[in-house]
Amino acid sequence: MPGRIEKTGTNFKINDSEYFISLKSGEEIKVVLRSILKMISLDIDIVSEEINSSLLTLEGLEPHTAYYLYQDSYKNEISFISDEKGSYN
C-alpha cells in the first residue's frame, strides 16, 4: 500500500507517497507509519519490556509550520511548530 510502512527498527522512511516522511527512534520499536493526504498516522509498540521511553524524531515536515498531534484521541490535542529543517522531536 503506498504511503505505508510496517516494520521493527530505529529508522523508518516513506518514499512512495506525495508526502515523504521519516521517523527516527533512539530505541528499537515496532511501527506502522502512514503518510496520507495532509495527515500522518503513527502506531508504536515496544520491542523490549526493559525500555519504557525513546526519543522520536519526525522529519519531512514543512519548516516553521504549525502542526497538531493527537495522542490516543482527538481530545488530546497538542500543537507544535516544526523546526527550520522540518523536524519535530
State the pLDDT confidence band at 1, using cuts at 50, 70 and 90. Answer: low
Residue 72's pLDDT is 85
- CB-based contact 60:86 (threshold 8 Å): yes
**Using DSSP, how many helices (H) and how many strands (E) does the chain show?**
0, 7
Average pLDDT over residues 60-69: 94
pTM, full prediction: 0.85
Residues 25, 27, 75, 82, Cα dihedral to 10°: -20
Mean of pLDDT over the chain: 90
